[in-house]
Amino acid sequence: EAQVTQNPRYLITVTGKKLTVTCSQNMNHEYMSWYRQDPGLGLRQIYYSMNVEVTDKGDVPEGYKVSRKEKRNFPLILESPSPNQTSLYFCASGRARVSHNTEAFFGQGTRLTVV
């Protein structure tokens, strides 16, 4: 089954404790992206990647890191989480540079609470 898998689904952590949210897709997609979703603000892009070893900042990259060492994985790293990073996070993947009809496939989301 074609899917994007995020882990964990729920996470409560303390300020300053490094964490990683994993994202994996099995569709051989070049494009992967991380978004955070907050009430009234919708989906805001954190980082995206057009292919292996190619990553770019989105609209709200501060406090986050990503890596793309393999095509299927795109982990989101919070080196020193703060309460303002409490949010619902989504990973998405899609084809890139093939056509204008790049559908984004989303994971189930990770609800992160930083106390």
CB of 18 to other proteins, least distance (A): 25
| Bridging pattern class, strands 42-51 and 110-114 | unpaired
| Binding residues for other proteins restricted to 56-85, rule: CB under 8 A | 56, 59
Which residue stretch of 11-19, 21-29, 72-80, 98-106 sits at the interface with other proteins (rule: CB under 8 A)? Answer: 98-106
What proportions of the chain, in percent to the nearest 5, are helix, strand and coil?
5, 50, 45
The answer to whether residues 105 and 4 touch, using CB atoms and an 8 Å cutoff, is yes
CB of 78 to other proteins, least distance (A): 20
Which residue stretch of 15-23, 65-73, 76-84, 101-109 sits at the interface with other proteins (rule: CB under 8 A)? Answer: 101-109
* Rounded Cα gap, residues 16 and 63, in angstroms: 11
* Rounded Cα gap, residues 13 and 111, in angstroms: 11
Indicate whether 2 belongs to the interface with other proteins (CB under 8 A): no
* Rounded Cα gap, residues 54 and 67, in angstroms: 8
Cβ proximity to other proteins: between 48 and 74 the closer is 48
Interface with other proteins (CB under 8 A)? 4, 31, 33, 35, 40-45, 48, 50, 56, 59, 90, 92, 94, 96-97, 100-104, 106-109
